[in-house]
Amino acid sequence: MYSKKVMDHFTNPRNMGVIKDPDGIGEVGNPVCGDIMKIFIKVARKPNIGEFISDIKFQTLGCGSAIATSSMITELAKGRSLKQAGEITRDNVASELDGLPPEKMHCSNLAADALKKAIKNYKRKKKEGRNAERKKEKKRGGDRKI
Ligand code: FES
């Protein structure tokens, strides 16, 4: 039996859709049922918390629990620092939804894993951007010496 909150998030999902120019994307699939989930994030910076999730959206091809957990995780992550958002677990998501049937707990893995992947993807892109910048700087420096 699903809780009222699960039904609410399933029938009226929050933050569903795509961010056109995301800072990070996380995509995961459930090998057992074949369901797929994508999470898109935008990252901004505030002096008091540092980098935080300023916008988040999801696309889910999956069951009602997968949609409800995606919707809930976007609400939990929005406005949180990257560190706090990365620490959200499947149990956090399930308990915010007032529980999921035991046989549906695996569905909440998708949401937590997709968010973690999106944050990882953002960090990787940022690092690659910094490395490319360093290479350009080095090249410019090298060009000047000639
Ligand atoms: S049955 Fe596939 S994610 Fe729920």
Token output for 12: 């009226």
Instruction: Give the pLDDT band of residue 145 (cuts 50, 70, 90).
Output: low
Q: What is the mean pLDDT of residues 15-24?
A: 97
Answer for the pair 99, 3: CB distance below 8 angstroms, yes or no: yes
Probe residue for ligand 1, chosen from 100, 106, 113 as the CB with the greatest number of ligand atoms within 8 Å? 106
Q: How far is the CA of 62 from the centre of ligand 1 (A)?
A: 6
- The fold for domain 4-145 equals Sufe protein. Chain: A (3.90.1010)
Q: What is the DSSP letter of 20?
A: S
pLDDT in the model for residue 32: 83
CA gap 134, 57 in Å, rounded: 32
Question: Shortest CA distance to 95 belongs to which of 103, 105, 83?
Answer: 105
Verify whether residue 63 is a known catalytic residue: no
Q: Write down the pLDDT at residue 142.
A: 67
Q: Could you tell me the strand order of the sheet in which 36-46 lies? A: 24-29, 36-46, 50-61
> What's the distance, CA 71 to chain centroid?
11
Measured in Å, residue 109 CA sits from the centre of ligand 1 at: 9
Domain ranges of the chain: 4-145
pLDDT of residue 21: 95
Model confidence at 144: pLDDT above 70: no
Find out whether the beta carbon of 36 lies less than 6 Å from any atom of ligand 1: no
* Interval 82-101 mean pLDDT: 95
Span 29-41, mean pLDDT?
Answer: 92
